[in-house]
Structure 1
């Protein structure tokens, strides 16, 4: 699949803006300083599994700093989680990388047990991992679990995408400020929110989840493990995104969604739309 784009000059500018030296970057990634110099001169490129470390070091989302066109295959999912093939030995408990290597090469699919172990380690759903595996075999992957997010990171990102379609979503720092305001105390930082949103951290204190749910206009149960509630909220957020874009026809056509969206839930969606319309935009200087 398409590699993430590494622009050496752009990376050098971001590094300097973050007031980091090549030596500091090298130490964080575990390479020689000369390797970083070669990356920035575009003589060589960093290994795919080092890109998440570089993104975290610069405090930027992986997809923003190193974008990729197209969807990931199995090797991409591993690299995006920051693992080398050798690292998967500790995850799977195997003595070699054979199973992972063959699956990534499109030779033999992973067992159900390994799918579960790797999905948990990579911070993605089993459906997403299986879809990536199909791409490794050159097949068109089905929709990842019908588009229903399963991990906390996927749920937060899904809600952000649907709540602010075509708009500038709140930054991690803005989300943290909103959560702290909800809690009436400093309970989370922008870095904490970033870790939750990217899957680096998979759990949060109840008050943090309550604040995130309030900010995103979703039910608290959506951020937990109730599949039925998750699917209802997904349907509601999809309708919300359509309505905010002005796709009234789509709202009418999908008024009773695949999950049997009730009139009550549709009313909630309308209330959330009205509430969001009154909120300051995330980039509003008056915010």
Structure 2
């Protein structure tokens, strides 16, 4: 994921603008004045976890002085909180930074017992920590309420490709829900819609975070109901089917955006609804019609 952009000239100008000496900055960051000089002349680059203190030392906002073009992963959250990877041993209560290192490298997800501790230390919610973890595993999960953009998913750029993993697909769908929803609420909704106790809060959490990578059909059906989609979202390995699902979800988002623009005049017209229904019906008839085969 994108590291923060370090600009030696911007650091130098900010320090001078605040009439601060290199030794003053060095003392606040916990390094030598020679190290600050090396940063300002571009001879070396500070470790990511030093950037928050460095920005504070020159009285600048971290995002403005050292911007990041993208969403943070686990390593970014840690660095923004000022922790080195080795320092996370004290946060997790482990002898090595192994649990955090494995999650940051996309090798093994964090145990639930570490999530709240790390979220508190990093100054984020557990859900934000979990979204960052998904990015460490290669799933560029959007933030809740983030508008559609070329950066969110490949489906939204027109390629019609869904995330490959079950956890990625769940994250993809959660982003399209009108408001954030808890694992417990998803489990309750899915169970209510299928009329059976199939989902639990822990199971939804494990599926969403990738701890559990697959599930029986009845679980996928309840999960699909809770997320307002089709079980094919999770079960199909047909690229054509996945493309139709992805593009339908994008269409649904676009239709909702039109309807939300306000009132009957700016909202979703009867003509547009009729057109959508007509095209879907036409596609269904064409797909169902017998094809001539000439021998």
**Structure-2-length-normalised TM-score:** 0.49
Instruction: Map 1:23-34; keep pairs closer than 5 Å.
Output: 23-34=23-34
- Equivalent residue number for residue 140 of structure 1: 140
Looking at structure 1, the residues matched to 112 and 258 of structure 2 have their Cα atoms a distance apart, in angstroms, of 42
Alpha-carbon distance in 2 for matches of 1:123, 1:100:
16
Structure-2 change in CA distance of 1:88 and 1:147 (3 Å): farther
Would you identify which runs of 4 or more consecutive aligned residues in structure 1 move more than 2 Å?
Answer: 247-251
Corresponding residue for 2:262?
A: 252
Residue in 2 aligned with 1:58? 58
The aligned counterpart of 1:70 is 70
- What is the alpha-carbon root mean square deviation over aligned residues? 2.2
Q: Deviations over 1:204-253 (max 9, x none)?
A: xxxxxxxxxxxxxxxxxxxxxxxxxxxxxxxxxxxxxxxxxxx9974427
SS of residue matched to 2:94? coil
In structure 1, what is the equivalent of residue 106 of structure 2?
Answer: 106
Contact 2:29/2:57 (CA < 8 Å) preserved in 1?
Answer: no
Paired residues for 1:222-261 under 5 Å? 250-252=260-262
Match of 2:202 in 1: none
1:42 alignment partner in structure 2: 42
Equivalent position SS for 1:56: helix
**1:4 Cα deviation (Å)?**
0.7
Q: 1:42 to 1:248 in 2, by over 3 A?
A: same
Counterpart position of 2:22? 22
Structure 1: unaligned runs, 5 residues or longer? 149-246, 255-287
1-structure distance, mates of 2:126, 2:262: 33
Distance change >3 Å, CA 249–CA 50, structure 1 → 2: same
Q: 1:117 to 1:124 in 2, by over 3 A?
A: same
* Aligned counterpart, 1:82: 82
Higher Cα radius of gyration: 2
| Deviation of 1:74 (Å) | 0.5
Counterpart contact for 2:85–2:100, Cα < 8 Å: yes
Q: 2:117 and 2:263 mapped to 1: Cα distance?
A: 40
CA distance in 2, matches of 1:125, 1:253: 36
C-alpha distance 66-253 of structure 1, shift in aligned 2 (>3 A): farther
Provide the rounded CA distance (Å) in 1 between the counterparts of 2:8 and 2:74.
Answer: 25
- Comparing 109-118 with 53-62, greater Cα deviation is found at 53-62
Partners of 2:263 and 2:73 in 1: CA distance: 34
Unmatched 5+ stretches in structure 2: 147-256, 265-295
Indicate how the Cα distance of structure 1 residues 248 and 58 shifts in structure 2: closer, same or farther if over 3 A, else same. Answer: farther
Q: Counterpart of 1:9?
A: 9
Paired positions, count? 154
**TM-score, normalization by structure 1:** 0.50
Shift of 1:100: 0.4
